[in-house]
Structure 1
Amino acid sequence: MTAIQDYQYGPLANDDNTRFIQLYPAAHFEDPIRVDIIERAYDASKTQDSVSYEALSYAWGSDEDSAYIFVGANSGLRVRYNVTQILRYLRDGITPGCSARTLWIDAMCINQADDEEKGKQVTVMGKIYACATSVLIWTGEPGCDLQALQRSFEGKGKEKMFRWIRRRPNDQIARLMQFFGTGWFTRRWVVQEIVHAREAYIISGSCTMQWQQFRAFVEHLESNISYEALMPHSAAILHHLSNLTAMIATESMHCEVSVRHLFQSTTKSQPMGYMTD
């Protein structure tokens, strides 16, 4: 039996390239995670050697827990626990008959031990997200929050959503605010990760929602709930979400100004330390 060795990153061939994960399906959720790591150009307009891929936007999580995933035939790569869970759920979403799902995940596709490479890759991350077929926004493992939002869109469109919002007890609205006030929604880096996305999807476990649906929900939530009725922290979260969801519709030429506006308005309205990197 061949011994498993630590995966060794090689240097990227040029600055227009990055690495991608080819994630393979498995019979059971807890089966070992198996991937290949390949190098390709991320911009299809500049090369014949590009790849179609999805880019992951997520909160890194704690580095206290980690696990190995298998790379190729006899290599292993240690990643954070939340990355293994993300890969398991995304692996479940592989289309039947498809051999692999191609992903860009910064923690795995960038050599985190190479500061020079990290510096170069960070400068093109906006382009990497923009060139992806879609951006997958991971908000965490399964919960009823995202499913509840999806149910608000069932039935007769906006009127159904209005009734859903009006009938929610305060404790359920507070729980939604708690969901929106943690993890992905509080990261500054999400701005560059989604503002130029061709398509974006919010994922909680195996539950998925299109970004445009989420944006519509936030707009109607803001229109039908009084800021004065919310706790200050919840009001700050809703204000931040309103800015964030509006930003993805902003034209690319105005992106830099919009980013500054989001950070400034957020800083004025949130308690200290609300936004994270």
Structure 2
Amino acid sequence: MAFTYSNETVMQAFRLYSLLAMNGSAAKERLQEYMADDEVRGLVDQFASEVDCAVIAAGDELYLIPLVRLSPFHVSNDYMKRTYLRASAVNADLYLMYLAMIVLIGAFYDSYQSLEPTRNFLPLDEWAVLVQERIDSLKEHDEEQLKQFEREFSYNWSAIIEKWDTMDDIKETAKRQTGNTISRLSFLDTVRRFLLEQQLAEEVGPGELALTGKTKVIVGRYFMELEYNRGILEFLYSLDERKKNAKEEDQHAVDLEN
């Protein structure tokens, strides 16, 4: 059964969608407008779906988020390189940037299958340690396995390892990284800037990041879903799970012996 909408409803929905398309978000008044009228909300959602996006409500705002890489609202690799990375940046820099973002988001949850955050903030130096743990985990796979995973996930894991390893070691005495040096903290500071500008994270203290309401909604709806993460989370964290299971089995065997 086809729905018939009044011209006023269609135009109201289109104006709201146009605002989201132009700014990526809309403030409290528009959120109320979206939530109050089922017909307007349905039309806005349809408009967004046509460009492979979704509309989400988080806090007092509405957001338009791309769901697939082919969406015209997806942040392109060229834009990321041009805006956030050095002029000499290559795809490996982007791969490492994506990995750092996955690690940051994962740090707030007790597993890649959980939906509720288990911590309030993440210090920059701890973020660097967690990225190092993921890199070390990747290194436990031999070269042939990594090549197989590269074909499966379209991520160049070997290049990610090499890019991270060739960066300068973190200087524990550094209080501020401005991006002028190629250090791990400096690189994470670049990722931090992207997350802040995209409203995916917020600063709650010096060098301390928290997830925004927008990110929590995205994680709850899409981040943990295999359809969207393509198994990357399971791959990155499954080694931890195998180690945990092996440790529990070893402990169980010891208990039986005793």
TM bucket, shorter chain: under 0.3
Greater RCO (Cα-Cα under 8 Å, separation 6 or more):
1
TM-score (norm 1): 0.26
Q: Which has the larger radius of gyration?
A: 2
Structure number having the greater helix percentage:
2
